[in-house]
Amino acid sequence: MVIVMERGADAAQVRTVIEEIERAGFRAFVNPGVERKVIALLGAMDVQKAQLADHFAALPGVERVSRISEPYKLVARASQPEGTRIQIGRVCIGGPALTIIAGPCSAEDREQALEIAQIVKYAGANMLRGGAFKPRTSPYSFQGLGEKGLEILAQAKEETGLPLVTEVMEVDEVELVAKYADMLQIGARNMQNFRLLQRVGGIDMPVLLKRGPGCRVRDLLMAAEYIMVEGNHQIALCERGITTFEDSTRYTLDISAIPVIKRHSHLPVIIDPSHCAGEWRYVNPLAMAGVAAGADGLLVEVHPDPASALSDGPQALKPERFRALVADVARLANVLGRTLSSPKET
């Protein structure tokens, strides 16, 4: 931590900062600058003490505090340099094989869900997605089928053998959703619902944590830290687009987030090209870009009849387009030294 004093800071203010540094158990080193003093805080800093930054920043005469260490620990690459792998049945997220998670935006009825599940399985998906509890911007939109939807999805999972990832929106519903799911999704709007993070941190089931559209990569890592601190280390991060001024797509896919996360963390990264695109026609190029940039998998919405979908139809791929995408990704994976091990082959 480096503490930059204001230009006009006086000797007493500098002295106070030094005393506070020493009171916190560190040593202080004052940079002999002429225009303004810079005080380095020396000694090992753990994540608890990193929270002292605000304390120093609020001392009189301090202009700003510059942190050196990352504010997270468990999610940091250094804590597990070889990278996390999450095993879910025969699927392994984070290894050389890419994970293709596909399915409808929401489970609408039994027939639809079972049909799509078979479609994505035979197209090459290795996990099934689908929502039973849907967070929707409008209270007048379809909100999902609730537990009924979970039952349908569980049947689809049984019939196909594909592990299921589905969203949980509420602390109280974690137990219920976990009865049916193989992986719990925390939606983008709940990325900083800290109670929910803590709750899924306390159970033994993998978590797919989606990035909030207004949140920095750093905040996404801190949200994952909330889960890990509670004991659950099976987390995959999902980039699904951020809010920017560009309005030709619904969100702007932050493709750089993939190498940035890979550098700073050991957690696997999944790309959701459907939600950021908002239109099916951009899903293929964004999915390809994500894999080429190093993503460990894709989360894709598929629907046999997008116009009749009860949510997010315009971004859903028709079955034939999804099959083409899987074929494209398979060729790409090959070039990148990765594979696309579909369960039907095993």
- Binding to a copy of itself (CB under 8 A): which residues in 67-96? 68-69, 71-72, 78
CB of 190 to a copy of itself, least distance (A): 6
Q: Is 185 left (phi over 0), alpha (psi -120 to 50) or beta?
A: beta
Q: What is the DSSP letter of 302?
A: B
Handedness of CA 51, 187, 280, 138 (dihedral sign): negative
Residue indicated by tokens 């004052």: 30
Q: Does 299 bind a copy of itself (CB under 8 A)?
A: no
* Residue 135 in the binding site for a copy of itself (CB under 8 A): yes
Could you say which of 104, 297, 306, 319 contacts a copy of itself (CB under 8 A)? 306
Establish if 324 lies at the interface with a copy of itself (CB under 8 A).
Answer: no
Binding mask 204-243 for a copy of itself (x = CB under 8 A): --------xxxxxxxx--x--xx--x------------xx
15 scored as a contact of a copy of itself (CB under 8 A): no
* C-beta separation of 232 from 204 below 8 A: yes
Counting contacts by CB under 8 A, is residue 176 touching a copy of itself? no
- For a copy of itself, which residue of 11, 23, 335, 346 counts as binding (CB under 8 A)? 335
Among 11, 23, 58, 111, binds a copy of itself (CB under 8 A): 58
Angle at 325 between CA 324 and CA 326, to 5 degrees: 95
Does 66 engage in binding with a copy of itself (CB under 8 A)? yes
Choose the binding region for a copy of itself from 96-104, 152-160, 178-186, 312-320 (rule: CB under 8 A): 312-320
Q: Are 100 and 325 in contact (CB under 8 A)?
A: no
Pairing relationship of beta strands 2-5 and 62-66 according to DSSP bridges: antiparallel
Decide if residue 25 touches a copy of itself (CB under 8 A).
no
The pair of three-digit structure tokens given for residue 341, joined into one six-digit string: 């091990």
Q: Is 155 or 289 the residue whose CB approaches a copy of itself more closely?
A: 289
In the list 88, 164, 238, 288, the residue contacting a copy of itself (rule: CB under 8 A) is: 288
Q: Which residues, 6+ apart, have CB-to-CB distance to 195 below 8 Å?
A: 171
Torsional sign, CA 23, 28, 32, 36: negative
